[in-house]
Amino acid sequence: MAEIGTEQAATDIPAPGPASDAPSGDRQPRVSWSGLRPLLLRLHFYAGIVVGPFLLIAAVTGLLYTATPQIEAVVYRHELRVTPHGEPRALAAQVDAARKAVPEGTVFSVTPATGRSDSTRVVFNKPGLPDNYTETAFVNPYTVEVLGQERTFAGWWLPVRAWVDGLHRHLNLGELGRNYSELAASWLWVEILGGLALWLTAPRSRQRLRRVFVPQGGPKSRRRTMSWHATAGVWASIGLLGLSVTGMTWSVHAGESIGKIQPALAGPSPAISTTLPDAEGTAKGDGPVKDVGIDAVVASAHGAGLRGVLNVSPPAEAGAAYVVKENTRSWPERHDSVAVDPATGKVVDRADWADYPFLAKMTSWGIDAHMGLLFGLANQIVLALLAIALIAMILWGYRMWWLRRPTRTAGLSLGRAPARGAWRRLPGWFLAPAVLLTAVIGYYIPLFGLPLLVFLVVDVIVGARRRRHDGRPEVAA
């Protein structure tokens, strides 16, 4: 990803174009691709060099993450799978068995066994656990035997997946480490779009249009490496752009901006109320608190149309309702939820997935696809191929940089960067809005804007030093 373009594009920028590109009388100067291309090439080159290592780490750890469902199925087979015999025992009996195994915990949610060979999960909040972590007991629904306990992240991910996910998101360094993955996601779309623009507009004959999609063969050379780098980017572009966008949705800085913008564009999502009509009297202890039990609550949820993987959350306090949520994250997704009165077992409120704004649905689908959940094994395979493609593109990009190094100089030297000063060929009426747009994007995506600003400052300093050394003017970018 270090660069895409022709050999000529990396040479010094030529003098201003013909008279048709220059102002004459009342005619405004035009913006030509020959003027934009060197600037884009320089940005693509430096972004690839600097951001490439972060993208490489994200791709390698993401590739490892794609295999976590299969790894979990092997490592935790004893806790996750059971041998069916007879009919399952009451869910309340299963929860009671889990409570005895985790006496210091408070039940946070219950996920009844979905299939006949699945165990029931009872998730507990327990003192001393890190933020977002819970203790989960796995219960055999036929014998109410507790098969084991595991510390789970977000109430669902087992230790192996939680560790790999943490490695991918923040290198297991906590909040500080999340900046690495956000930096990678914030620049991946820039690299992909810039690379596409450079490659698709590279000079080529119609007879060789197939070279846009088919890599070049022949002897090893920088041109062949560029062909493989670029064609891989063409084929993987849509998927990588999707990963970039969805990766930013749950990032720290850009994610906060997206969280503010999305409701304004899409409107509020349905919210379920857990407050019961007579909650005030119940909360004050007026009369005994009646509870129909978790089995009746699940039956009411089934009667309301909820199916698939269910998460049942008991009332957090007196006067509150049970909440039953669908958590089927494979296609078609199911995310309906209902509130159930513990005294009567009746559904008192609901929020349906069908009523969610389209943008909210798109966000959910994108995130689940990013995590390999939306289309099952096929989703995992596509993610693995995208990760492999990105790894190869980065390595090919660095190889191109290496192949362009001077070979007659003594000592270690690297390939030179594309020439400076490309912005001088752009008219002010185009440059000013472009700078403003870049500033707006940088504001909402800080880990795009700040590195770009640092690059410009460093580039100005380097240019000033070269100007003093060479005795001639030289400007940035």
Comparing 433 with 202, which gets the higher pLDDT? 433
For residue 285, the model assigns a pLDDT of 54
Q: What is the mean pLDDT of residues 433-442?
A: 94
Q: What is the mean pLDDT of residues 114-133?
A: 95
Residue linked to tokens 């089927």: 328
Residue linked to tokens 């410009």: 456
Give me the torsion for CA of 267, 272, 273, 276, rounded to 10°. Answer: 150
Whether the predicted pLDDT of 115 surpasses 80: yes
Element containing residue 423 per DSSP (H, E): none
Spacing of C-alpha 372 from chain mean position? 11
Whether the predicted pLDDT of 65 surpasses 90: yes
Q: pLDDT tens digits, residue range 362-376? A: 999 999 999 999 999
Sheet holding 310-313, edge to edge: 146-153, 133-139, 120-125, 106-111, 310-313, 322-326, 337-340, 347-351
pLDDT confidence band for 2 (50 / 70 / 90): very low
Whether the predicted pLDDT of 204 surpasses 60: yes
Q: Name the percent of the chain lying above pLDDT 90.
A: 65
* CA dist list (Å): 19 to 28, 29, 48, 413: 12, 10, 35, 39
Q: Please provide the DSSP assignment of 358-390 as one string.
A: HHHHHHHHHHHHHTT-TTHHHHHHHHHHHHHHH
Mean pLDDT for all residues in the chain? 87
Tell me which of 21-35, 205-219, 295-309 is least confident: 21-35
Ordered by start, the domain boundaries in the chain are 8-18+27-65+175-260+376-427, 81-157, 275-355
- Cα angle 54, 60, 66 (rounded to 5 degrees) comes to 130
Q: What is the mean pLDDT of residues 369-393?
A: 97
Tell me which of 64-68, 136-140, 151-155, 206-210 is least confident: 206-210
The number of residues in the chain equals: 477
For residue 284, the model assigns a pLDDT of 53
Whether the predicted pLDDT of 87 surpasses 60: yes
Q: Do residues 84 and 141 make contact, with C-beta atoms less than 8 angstroms apart? A: no
Q: What is the mean pLDDT of residues 87-92?
A: 97
Q: What type of residue is 348?
A: V
Buried b (16+ CB within 10 A) or exposed e, 194-225: bbbbbbeebeeeeeeeebeeebeeeeeebeeb
Give me the torsion for CA of 218, 222, 228, 233, rounded to 10°. Answer: -160
* CA dist list (Å): 314 to 222, 363, 466: 63, 28, 69
Q: What is the mean pLDDT of residues 86-110?
A: 97
Whether the predicted pLDDT of 15 surpasses 70: no
Tell me which of 73-77, 130-134, 411-415 is least confident: 411-415
Distance of alpha carbon 332 from alpha carbon 360, whole angstroms: 15
Q: What is the mean pLDDT of residues 278-294?
A: 68
Distance of alpha carbon 121 from alpha carbon 359, whole angstroms: 32
For residue 19, the model assigns a pLDDT of 39
pLDDT confidence band for 9 (50 / 70 / 90): very low
Give me the torsion for CA of 189, 190, 193, 195, rounded to 10°. Answer: -120
Q: What is the mean pLDDT of residues 157-164?
A: 96
pTM, 2 dp: 0.87
Distance of alpha carbon 364 from alpha carbon 335, whole angstroms: 10
Element containing residue 334 per DSSP (H, E): none
Tell me which of 31-35, 224-228, 243-247, 375-379 is least confident: 31-35
Q: Please provide the DSSP assignment of 75-118 as one string.
A: HTHHHHB----S-PPPHHHHHHHHHHHSTT-EEEEEE--SSTTB
